[in-house]
Every structure is written in structure tokens, then in C-alpha cells.
Amino acid sequence: MSGTTQKYRNFVAEPMGDKSVTELAGIGETLGGRLSEAGFDKAYTVLGQYLVLKKDEELFKEWMKDVCHASSKQALDCYSCLHDWCEEFL
């Protein structure tokens, strides 16, 4: 994926382990705080929601907007990060 951020490349390059939700591309401290308050404090919990939504881009982006008020770009960045991580590791 061209034009990716260092944060994205770092996340997709290795197993997820116990990474914080703020290590996902598109998720900074503000959105990370909102996600944590909603029970999604680790990257793997957001991955779980991504999988529950059957990896559907539109459903995931809408969920991001509803849960943490992510912008379209932030939601797409997070979706792309999880999508590409899954392609590499699942």
C-alpha cells in the first residue's frame, strides 16, 4: 500500500500481541481514549470487532464513526491496517 505511515508499517510488520489500541493506524490518543472507554483498549479487541463485522469495510468504518467519532480518513486508516495485518498473519 503506497503512502502508508510509519505507524501503519510498524503495526503490519509484526504479530499483534498485547499492543495498545493507539498503535493502530488512524488511532491517536483522543480516539484511543474513546475506544478504551467503550471497552476496546487493546488492538486485538478492535480486531475482534473487525472480524465480527466479517471484515466488511463499510460496516467497520461506520462502527468506528459510531463508537469513537472517527473521521472517514481515520476509520479507513484503521480498517486498512487491520485488513493488511490479517492478510499477513491470518
Measure the CA–CA gap between 53 and 30, rounded to whole angstroms. Answer: 23
What is the reported pLDDT for 8?
92
Whole-structure pTM value:
0.93
Determine, yes or no, domain membership for 1.
no
What value does the mean pLDDT take over residues 35-56? 98
pLDDT band for position 30 (cuts 50, 70, 90): very high
Determine, yes or no, domain membership for 31.
yes
Greatest Cα pair distance in the chain: 32
How many domains does the chain fold into? 1
Looking at every residue in the chain, the average pLDDT score rounds to 94
- Domain of 52, in residue numbers: 6-89
For residue 20, the number of C-alpha atoms closer than 13 Å in the C-beta half-sphere is 12
CATH number of the domain encompassing residue 28: 1.10.150.40
Determine, yes or no, domain membership for 18.
yes
pLDDT at 53 over 70: yes
Measure the CA–CA gap between 10 and 68, rounded to whole angstroms. Answer: 23
What value does the mean pLDDT take over residues 71-75? 97
Determine, yes or no, domain membership for 51.
yes
Question: What is the phi/psi pair of residue 20, to 5°?
Answer: -70, 155
Quick one: cell of 32?
A: 484511543
Determine, yes or no, domain membership for 45.
yes
